Amino acid sequence: MARIAVVAGDGIGPEVVAQARKVLDAVLPGVQATEYDLGAARWHRTGEVLPDSVLAELAGHDAILLGAVGDPTVPPGVLERGLLLKLRFAFDQYVNLRPSRLWPGVAGPLGNVKPGEVDLVVVREGTEGLYAGAGGSLHRDTPAEVATEESLNTRHGVERVIRDAFARAGRRERRKVTLVHKTNVLTHAGSLWARAFDAVAAEHPDIATEYQHVDAAAMFLVTQPQRYDVVVTDNLFGDILTDIAAAVTGGIGLAASGCINPEGAYPSMFEPVHGSAPDIAGQGIADPVAAVLSAALLLEQLGHAEAAARVNAAVAAELAGRTPGVALRTAEVGDRLAAHAVA
Amino acid sequence: MARIAVVAGDGIGPEVVAQARKVLDAVLPGVQATEYDLGAARWHRTGEVLPDSVLAELAGHDAILLGAVGDPTVPPGVLERGLLLKLRFAFDQYVNLRPSRLWPGVAGPLGNVKPGEVDLVVVREGTEGLYAGAGGSLHRDTPAEVATEESLNTRHGVERVIRDAFARAGRRERRKVTLVHKTNVLTHAGSLWARAFDAVAAEHPDIATEYQHVDAAAMFLVTQPQRYDVVVTDNLFGDILTDIAAAVTGGIGLAASGCINPEGAYPSMFEPVHGSAPDIAGQGIADPVAAVLSAALLLEQLGHAEAAARVNAAVAAELAGRTPGVALRTAEVGDRLAAHAVA
Ligand SMILES: CC(C)[C@H](C(=O)O)[C@@H](O)C(=O)O
Ligand SMILES: CC(C)[C@H](C(=O)O)[C@@H](O)C(=O)O
């Protein structure tokens, strides 16, 4: 029986996670869920971000389902470094998986892109690069201040995420991987990424490959998102590109993500890309689709591909049936999705 | 009399620069232009990228007009680091200026954005950050390889570009500056940028300010580009965001840029954002508008605001008069723009 840790979090987190659990319970009866109280609320109350004891308990689960953490009153970095990134690094979640589809029924912002035409997945490296936390400053608060941030990249870390991207491409229809970096400026890291990419590509002659600089990729995601299948890239580039991909496919309200340790040595974590949205929290009007799609990624990762497919089909039906401009009720969407997923 | 160094470069560079010169000559008779042969062609022929003697000669000019350099046969980094970035750093061009307007007559990719609604300028830092060239690798080509790239940020460098952004905002209608960074992850550099921004903002109570994380800004540039006036950001973020801004305003074929040393201690450099486009080079079909708009930025920087305004008006008329789908001839566009700018 799957053992899931649930971190509902702050703002709309609890509202959307409740729907994801409804759907999970519907398609996989008997899921054991344990709730963990983490996020801005706990930090305000206790000063704690992620106690070691909680980290150890989380490690005993098959997966983590997270809603959203944070609110504007928490200083930048506290929950990001102390909780989200801490989990990604502690649980070696090196595959940060972010699919983007322009679902039929969803009006994207691009005039020349039709629903169904965009179906890409960004495989973002999750444990290296500028997220390593290697930086510092000298002479702080003086005119002589200097601050550094260092991007750390290892062959080990780069190659394993590229391998994952090729494996995913091999299971998809178009079988194409695009490497995105900035090899013309970041020559050291760029060269490492490019050489590792070429080495893995050579083992997969059946998979098409291309390379793009990150600025060009940012542009093409807007002008021609249809061209992408699997995109593999570094941690920071992936952060930026996946928000563009979300924007062109209807917004982060629909974007799901998984922080995955493919070997299963540690639990993987699944969360909507959107934040805690304090402005609409508590009103029951947040769209739970991103949380539900994240639950589908969770199911897939735990080997329940058929259940995941049913959740995706329920989301497809839900989105196709929406009338633009009509307000939604979070719980009703959850009910519909759960009902459709078991029908 | 203005003394301009012209680096026409490779591919479509010479074709579009010829039109920019036509327009410059028309609005500012007597410009003295000296051509410098730099770029992929010279590198292939002589192995030289930017000889010291040429750098010294360029320093003696009031400004540099560059077409495009590079072609796919030059290894990544050679011309970027050796020529383009070398000039930006040697001439302390710390303001990398990139305006984006959705010109009437131009069909952008966004369904819900009307021509005339987008008019923003990104003030990208040009001499620091990840572009400093501070990186290296160990154990290259072994499984133990590690590669680093370091972002270097100084209070000096950050504050001066923020000051420039506020000065520009003060001369614009909406008077708003958006700082873009990633303070929640890049906490050291992010904090330096945020503190410098707040200090300069305090001196400009009449200018509205906001902060956005780079991933959010990338998204909002797609969903709501109208919201931006002046955006100030670091070197790499600016590289990515300006390509998104170009994409949503009709493509890099229309995007101009200036690498500016505001004090005039060194020449500033002006170039279209597009590359050398070897696939269409030599056919006389490249759009020279980005090069001509870059010449307008040059005029503005050299104090010829009225001439710059006439060039911009000529571009506005040209774009408003285009029929979608009708192929253009580079030289004819240049002729029309030059004629209109003096009319
Ligand atoms: C909250 C932040 C640390 C995080 C990131 O930068 O990875 C977020 O933007 C994301 O994309 O998951
Ligand atoms: C060619 C490259 C070095 C350059 C950059 O990264 O700055 C280009 O992308 C630009 O935006 O001017």
pLDDT band of A130, cuts 50, 70, 90: very high
Q: How confident is the model at residue A325 (pLDDT cuts 50, 70, 90)?
A: confident
pLDDT higher for B116 or B170? B170
Cα radius of gyration rounded to whole Å, chain A: 20
CB contact under 8 A, A151 and B154: no
pTM for this entry: 0.97
**Structure-token match 């989200």, residue found:** A84
As a whole number of angstroms, the distance between CA A319 and CA A296 comes to: 16
Round to whole Å and give the CA distance between B79 and B76: 8
Cα–Cα separations (whole angstroms), residue A171 to A101, A164, A175, B304, B316? 17, 11, 7, 59, 49
Q: DSSP string covering B35-85, please?
A: E---SHHHHHHHS-S--HHHHHHHHTSSEEEEEE---TTSPTTHHIIIIIH
- Reduce the DSSP state of residue B70 to 3 states and report it: coil
**Can you give the pLDDT at residue B313?**
98
Helix, strand, or coil (residue A107): coil
3-class secondary-structure state, position B97 = strand
Task: List the 45-84 stretch of A: residues with Cβ below 8 A of B.
Answer: 76-77, 80-81
Q: Is A269's C-beta closer than 6 angstroms to any atom of ligand 1?
A: no
CA distance B162 to B168: 10
pLDDT in tens, B287-307: 999 999 999 999 999 999 999
Residue ranges of A 180-209 with Cβ closer than 8 A to chain B = 182-192, 195
Is pLDDT at A74 greater than 90 in this prediction? yes
B24 pLDDT above the threshold of 90: yes
Contact indicator for B249, B102 with CB cutoff of 8 Å: yes
Mean pLDDT value of segment A150-174: 98
Distance from CA of B54 to the nearest CA of A (A): 23
Token reading at A130? 């500028």
Domains of chain B in start order, with CATH, are 1-94+278-343 (3.40.718.10), 99-260 (3.40.718.10)
Residue pair A27/A342 in contact (Cβ under 8 Å)? The answer is yes
Q: Which ligand is nearest to the CA of B276?
A: 2
Cβ-Cβ contacts under 8 Å for B172 (sequence gap 6 or more): B121, B229, B230
pLDDT at A1 over 90: no
By percentage, how much of chain A surpasses pLDDT 70? 100
Residue B202 tokens, joined: 């305090």
CB B70 within 8 A of CB B103: no
Q: With CA atoms as reference, report the closest residue to A20 among A328, A257, A281, A334.
A: A334
CB B99 within 8 A of CB B256: yes
Catalytic residues of B: 131, 182, 215, 239, 243
- Residue in A closest to B77 by C-alpha: A184
Beta strand B208-213 with B256-260 is unpaired
Q: Chain A: give the shortest CA distance to residue B3, in Å.
A: 30
Give me the residue from B184, B195, B218 closest to A77, CB to CB: B184
Quote the pLDDT of residue A220. Answer: 97
Q: Distance (Å, rounded) from C-alpha A270 to C-alpha A126?
A: 13
Contact B340, B28 (CB under 8 A): no
The residues near A51 (Cβ < 8 Å, ≥ 6 apart) are: none
Token digits for A214? 């990150």
Residue A144 predicted with pLDDT over 90 = yes
Cβ contact A219–B85 (<8 Å): no
Task: Give chain A's end-to-end CA distance (angstroms, integer).
Answer: 22
pLDDT tens digit sequence for A193-232: 999 999 999 999 999 999 999 999 999 999 999 999 999 9
Mean pLDDT of B30-53: 97
- Could you tell me if A214 lies within 8 Å of chain B, comparing CB atoms? yes
Cβ-defined contact of B153 to A148 (cutoff 8 Å): yes
pLDDT of amino acid B343: 86
B224 in A contact zone (CB under 8 Å): no
Q: Which of B155, B186, B222 sits opposite A135 (nearest CB)?
A: B186
Q: What pLDDT band is residue A323 in, cutting at 50, 70 and 90? A: confident
